[in-house]
Every structure is written in C-alpha cells, then in structure tokens.
Amino acid sequence: MRTLCITLLTMTTATMLWGCSDLAKKGAAPQPAAPAAKTETQPVDKERAKIEARIAKLTDEDKAAIEKVKAAFLTVNGNKSAVSVGEIIEDTMKNPSVKGVGWEAFKQADGSFRVMYNFRDAQGKYDVAAWVYNPKTGKVDHANKNAMQMSWRGKK
C-alpha cells in the first residue's frame, strides 16, 4: 500500500511539472479561471429585490414627499431635533452592521404620504422606519418606533 501511494504521488508530481514546463516552452502563462456564472443555487435576496422594485416605481410626488421628510427637524418627547431626519439616517447607515436599502413612499386615501426608509438591521432582518407627511399642513410625524429613534438627535 505504501509503495502504491509513493508511486501515485511521484506520477502526479511528474505530470504537474511536465505540464508547467510545456507551458513555459510555448511562452504561455496559465490563464485564471473565469468567474463562475450565477446559478440558481446561489442565494438571491428576494426581499431586497422586492423593495428595490417598489423604489423603482416611485412617482415625482412620492419623491417630493420623501424629500420633505428627509428635511424635517422633528420634535420627539417634547424636544426638537438639532439634526434633520435625512442626516440622522445618513449617520445611522454609517454603522457597518446596518445596511440601508432605500426610501419609498405612497399616497394614502386621506392625501397624506406614508414615507419609509428600508434597512437591514444588525441581525440581518429587514425593517422599516416610517413617517407620515401631510402636504396640506406640511407636518411630518414619526409613525413607528424606528422612525421615532431616527427622528431626534441633539447637537453634535
């Protein structure tokens, strides 16, 4: 058995050396392998794809509502934020464990807009911070706990 292993090892080494010397004689360098084509066995982030598809369909009116929310300086628990919602989101997304996906909005039956920022939290779960923007009054309010936390910062 030992002799067989030594023989196989010797033959393998000789074959490898012969192949390398043959390439060197021809002046050809071994080519790197082409990147693997994406196959169905590779994971696809379907949830992110759904969110991005919704974002791609935003109207100009939706985008304007998003900009109003991003520019807002909200009051939370009686204290006015020193920083806009948009700046707070930008700062929050600098955390490497949180991955931003993007903003989306839709008009509600009463004419107000539900504006949301989609992100992936530190545990890898998708979540959303939501605000309500009323274009008639110009008022912006946080609509969930995430938005409340992302609506107020003190002075830097």
Residue of higher predicted confidence among 18 and 128: 128
Residue of higher predicted confidence among 7 and 101: 101
Establish if 99 belongs to a structural domain.
yes
Establish if 121 belongs to a structural domain.
yes
Establish if 13 belongs to a structural domain.
no
Establish if 21 belongs to a structural domain.
no
Domain hosting 94: range is 48-149
Q: How far is CA 53 from CA 13, 87, 117, 127, in A?
A: 53, 25, 14, 16
CA 2 to chain centre: 55
Establish if 11 belongs to a structural domain.
no
Q: What is the rounded CA–CA span in Å between residue 101 and residue 62?
A: 17
Establish if 139 belongs to a structural domain.
yes
- What per-residue confidence (pLDDT) applies to 8? 45
Q: Which helix (H) or strand (E) is 46 found in, with range?
A: helix 46-56
Collapsing DSSP states into helix, strand and coil, what is residue 104?
Answer: strand
Are 23 and 29 in contact by the 8 Å Cβ rule? The answer is: yes
Establish if 35 belongs to a structural domain.
no
| pLDDT tens digits for range 60-119 | 999 999 999 999 999 999 999 999 999 999 999 999 999 999 999 999 999 999 999 999
Q: Which two tokens stand for residue 25?
A: 């004689």
CA 110 to chain centre: 31
| pLDDT tens digits for range 16-73 | 444 545 444 555 555 555 555 554 555 679 999 999 999 999 999 999 999 999 999 9
Establish if 4 belongs to a structural domain.
no
How many distinct structural domains can be found in the chain? 1
- What per-residue confidence (pLDDT) applies to 40? 54
Report the largest interatomic distance among the alpha carbons of the chain, rounded to a whole angstrom.
89
Return the C-alpha torsion angle 148, 149, 151, 152, nearest 10.
120
